[in-house]
Amino acid sequence: MEELVALCKRRGFIFQTNEIYGGLQGLFDYGPLGVELKNNLKQAWWRSMVYERDDIEGLDAAILTNPEVLKQSGHEETFTDPLVDCRSCNSRWRADHLEKSACPSCGSKDLTEPRPFNLMFKTNVGPIDDGTSFAYLRPETAQQTFTNFKNVVDSTSKNLPFGIAQIGKAFRNEVTPRNFIFRVREMEQMELEFFVKPGTDEEWHQFWVKNRLSWWSKQGVSEEKLDLYDVPNKELAHYSKSTIDIMYKFPHGLEELEGVANRTDFDLKAHSNASGENLSIFDDKTNQHITPYVIEPSSGVDRAVMALLVDAYNEEEITSASGKTETRVLLKLDPSISPVKVAVLPLSRNEKLTPLAKSVFDTLRKSNLIGGHVQYDDAQSIGRRYRRQDEIGTPLCVTVDFDSLDDNAVTIRERDTMEQTRVSLETLESDLALKLKS
C-alpha cells in the first residue's frame, strides 16, 4: 500500500489536499492522471446505466440540501456513528472500529460510553448567519433523486420499472477517515435508484447484485477479490429491508466497495407525506397509483479508484538488455480505464524524428478510434520512458525510430507482455484500436 500511495503522488494520480498548508484530514485531490482514471470509470458506469439500457435516465442535482429533506429521510436522527473519547489522550474514535476496546492512539481502555455523532456537514445559506438559514451538504446523492422523482416521471413518461442514475459529490464527517482514499470526508458516489413494483423488489434486488458484480469484473477487478456480504438485520440502515454489500479485498481487509440496498418505499412515502406532493406513479396495467419500491446500487468512486489501483499494481523481475535484473512496476489497468491509452515516443529527440513523431501524435490524439488521452514523451532514454508508461498503466506505446523515416512503419510495444510489433503508419490507428479492445 505504501508503494502505491508513493506512486500515486510521484506520477500525479492522487495528492493530499492543501498539502502545502499541512493538508486537511480525509480529503484528497486527483492529479492529471487521477482525473483521467476517475473520468474513465464514471463514464463506464454512466454508459452501462444510461446509454446501454432504455429504462434508466440521468440526473445531476444540487449538493446543498434543504434540511427538511434530510429530516424526513431520517438522516437527521439516524445518520450517526458511535463516538467515544479516550480520557487519557483526548482522542476520538468510532466505537465499532476499535480493536479490543482500546484507544488506537495510546492503548488506554479508559474510554467514554459511545454516543451518536451525526455525520452530516452543515453550511450557512445566504448572508444572515442566525442558525436558521442552513443547508446540509448531501450525505448521499439519493435524496435529491427521490425529491426529483415526480419531475423525472412527468418529463419522461416512464413506466415501472425504471431508474434514475446520478454521479456526484457526497459529504460525510467521518470520525476517523483513513486508509488513503478508502474512507474520506468528501467523496463521489455513483448511485442508481431503480423503481419497481412492490412484490417484484426481491427479484430486482438479486438482478442488480449480479449485474453489478459482473460490471466490476468488466472494469478489471479480479473476481477472486470480490465477495458478497448479506448485511444482518441489526446492521441494516433505517430504510433498508435487505442490503447486499459487494466487498473487495483491500490491503487493509475485506471491506465494502458497493452497497445494493432494497430501500422499499420508505423514502418516497416519507417525502410524499411531508411535502404533500404525490410521489407515486400511475400503473396502466392495474389502473392504480403505485408508490414504487427502490433498489439502490450505490458505490463510491474513490473506493473504486482505490480497488482498481490495488488490483492493477504489479511488480515483476526482468532482465535488461545489459543483463541486469531489475524490478518493473506496472499498473495492469484495463485499457478502457487507463488514464493514457497510447504514448508516442520518438527514439530520441532529433530534428528528423521529431516532425514525424509529432505528426503521428497529432493524428492519434484526435482519433475517435483511440477515443482517449494520448501522450507525447521525448525526455530521457527510451527504456526509462517505457518504465514510466508501465507505471502509469499505459497499455500501448508507439515508438518512432530512424527506420520509420524510410519504411513508413513504427513499433507498437505492449505494456503487459513487452511484446513489440512493427506496423505500417497507414494501419496504425486501427491496429492500436484493435489492441486496445482485445
Residues making contact with ligand ATP (CB under 6 A): 172, 174, 183-184, 187, 189, 256-259, 298-300, 302-303
Cell numbers representing residue 320 in the block: 535488461
Whether the Cβ atoms of residue 35 and residue 15 lie closer than 8 Å to each other: no
Q: Which CB sits closer to ligand ATP, 47 or 169? A: 169
Closest contact distance (angstroms) between CB of 60 and ligand ATP is 18
Closest contact distance (angstroms) between CB of 183 and ligand ATP is 4
| Phi, psi for 430 (deg, rounded to 5) | -75, -35
Residue 422's CB is within 10 A of a number of other CB atoms, namely: 13
| Helices of type H across 12-134 | 32-46, 67-72, 75-78
Q: Which CB sits closer to ligand ATP, 244 or 333? A: 244
Q: Which CB sits closer to ligand ATP, 299 or 404? A: 299
Q: Is 234 exposed, middle or buried (0-12, 13-18, 19+ CB in 10 A)?
A: exposed
Amino acid in position 433: A
Residue nearest ligand ATP, Cβ-based: 300
Whether the Cβ atoms of residue 417 and residue 396 lie closer than 8 Å to each other: no
Q: Which CB sits closer to ligand ATP, 138 or 415? A: 138
Q: Which CB sits closer to ligand ATP, 183 or 373? A: 183
Closest contact distance (angstroms) between CB of 187 and ligand ATP is 4
Closest contact distance (angstroms) between CB of 256 and ligand ATP is 5
How far from 106 is each of 84, 86, 109, CA to CA, in Å?
A: 14, 9, 9
Closest contact distance (angstroms) between CB of 243 and ligand ATP is 8
Q: Which CB sits closer to ligand ATP, 300 or 339? A: 300
- Write the DSSP string, 216-273: HHHTT--GGGEEEEE--GGGS-TT-SEEEEEEEEETTEEEEEEEEEEEETHHHHHHHH
Closest contact distance (angstroms) between CB of 227 and ligand ATP is 14
- Give the C-alpha separation, 225 to 221, whole Å: 8
